[in-house]
Amino acid sequence: MRTPTREEKMSDAFYVIGCQYFALAAYCADRMYLPIAATLYHHAIEMLLKGFLAKSKTSDDLKGLGHNLKLLWHEFKALASTAELARYDTTIIQLNDIELLRYPDSIVDKGFVLKIGLGTPIPIDLPGTEGLPQYLIDVSDVNAIATAIFKAGNVPVTPYFKNTPSEMKRTLPASLQPQE
């Protein structure tokens, strides 16, 4: 049996962490436990993108890209070379903006409105929220992005989600459900 390369081990580690973030994000979104669901989705997509990129980029390269989903997405699209991924550019930009909610400064200083679409149209604006920073997550698109990352890397989802607690597995999309 061949010993995995460091790049393969790094890729695997990013996928493990990304899937744990993703399962928690899906569970929190299902329970409307906000804003943590949003920041967990951001971290999940970041780790999954880095999992894909780790096979062709060094650890220092990935650190240099930081938490910026727009940069990671650009690198991913260049290597995945699938034209259909462009349809998720806006979702990546919106998810990247969620990084501002990671620390409470922005929340305390400016407030926020977070809209999460769970397979339904995005909620309407509530009166009195017009001046607040608006954040949007379309969970269907985030699910599709995660699925596209696995598909582009030819990575099976089962090994990464098989140990997810059952109450969290229930909130994962069908495309990310581990096969028993």
One digit per residue, the tens of pLDDT, for the chain of length 180 reads 889 999 999 999 999 999 999 999 999 999 999 899 999 999 999 999 999 999 999 999 999 999 999 999 999 999 997 888 999 999 999 999 999 888 888 889 998 888 888 766 666 777 777 888 888 899 999 999 999 999 999 999 999 999 999 999 999 999 999 987
Judge whether 49 lies within some domain: yes
Report if residue 96 sits inside a domain: yes
Q: Taking a C-beta distance cutoff of 8 angstroms, is the pair 11, 51 a contact?
A: yes
Evaluate whether residue 16 is within a structural domain: yes
Q: Which domain holds residue 45?
A: 6-176
Tokens matching residue 90: 């806006």
- Give the tokens for residue 3: 């010993």
pLDDT at 120: 65
- Of 130, 124, 96, 95, the closest CA to residue 111 belongs to 130
Half-sphere exposure at residue 72, Cβ-oriented, CA atoms within 13 angstroms: 27
Contact between 51 and 12 (Cβ < 8 Å): yes
In a domain, 123, yes or no: yes
Residue 113 lies in a domain: yes
Q: Is residue 1 part of a domain?
A: no
Q: Is this model's pTM higher than 0.95 or not?
A: no
**What's the total number of domains in the chain?**
1
In a domain, 23, yes or no: yes
164 φ/ψ sector (left φ>0, alpha ψ -120 to 50, else beta): beta
End-to-end CA distance of the chain: 25
Q: Would 53 be classed as within a structural domain?
A: yes
Helix (H) or strand (E) holding 113: strand 113-117
